[in-house]
């Protein structure tokens, strides 16, 4: 059995503008000073919001995360998949390949956004921040997704993601990594993590999957 795992932000969905606006808001509200949110988020290298908040405010990290999420989820957001994503997911789904989302977002938020973007129907599982004790780059979220999909051959599984944490999590879990370079804010960091494969467009992911036989 094989499966395809996907990261959410900057891989499936173009949520960067809304996320950066909320990050700048939370930094100003909690720390009282402006910040370049893109550079700040890039320094997190795909870690969780809580990881970033701990670095910024220490023991008060939960307040920072709460302010961020209240701002992000408390307003209308334009949630759109990247161009070419939906046809790729449709093709993989039609081929009967199980798929899951593995994200550092809370699961309710990830599920809500996938549904709003019209993509939720393609996934058998959504693994979010609140579904595991440890998080990417630890392999636990990947293992959780494989358990949900009943996928017991990691070498025939691919994880598509844009961040170093995605690539490291894949490696730590024994699955293949595909660096998604079409939406990342730090392609250099993704490549430094040494992914098994790279894709500059969603269509290239489909070509890799067929070429490498993940779906057979």
Q: Which two tokens stand for residue 189?
A: 């960091």
**Three-class DSSP category at 138:** coil
Q: Of residues 7, 9, 51, 131, which has the active-site annotation?
A: 7
At 21, phi and psi to the nearest 5? -65, -45
Interatomic CA distance for residues 13 and 46, integer angstroms: 15
Residue 192 · residue 164 · CB < 8 Å: yes
Q: Which two tokens stand for residue 107?
A: 């699961």
Verify whether residue 7 is a known catalytic residue. Answer: yes
CB atoms within 10 A of CB 169: 28
- Catalytic residue annotation: 7
């Amino acid at each position: 059995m094989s499966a395809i795992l996907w990261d959410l932000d900057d891989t499936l969905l173009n949520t960067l503008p809304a996320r950066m606006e909320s990050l700048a808001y939370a930094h100003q509200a909690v720390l009282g000073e402006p910040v370049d949110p893109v550079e700040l988020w890039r320094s997190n290298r795909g870690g969780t919001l809580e990881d970033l908040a701990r670095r910024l405010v220490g023991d008060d990290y939960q307040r920072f995360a709460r302010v961020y999420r209240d701002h992000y989820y408390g307003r209308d957001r334009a949630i759109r998949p990247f161009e070419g994503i939906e046809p790729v997911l449709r093709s993989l789904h039609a081929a009967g390949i199980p798929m899951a989302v593995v994200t550092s977002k809370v699961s309710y938020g990830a599920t809500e956004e996938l549904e709003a973007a019209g993509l939720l129907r393609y996934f058998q599982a959504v693994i979010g921040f609140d579904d595991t004790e440890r998080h990417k780059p630890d392999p636990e979220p990947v293992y959780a997704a494989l358990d949900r999909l009943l996928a017991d051959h990691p070498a025939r599984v691919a994880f598509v993601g844009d961040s170093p944490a995605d690539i490291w999590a894949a490696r730590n879990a024994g699955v293949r990594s595909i660096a998604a370079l079409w939406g990342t804010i730090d392609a250099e960091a993704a490549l430094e993590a040494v992914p098994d494969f790279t894709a500059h467009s969603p269509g290239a992911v489909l070509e890799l999957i067929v070429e490498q036989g993940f779906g057979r």
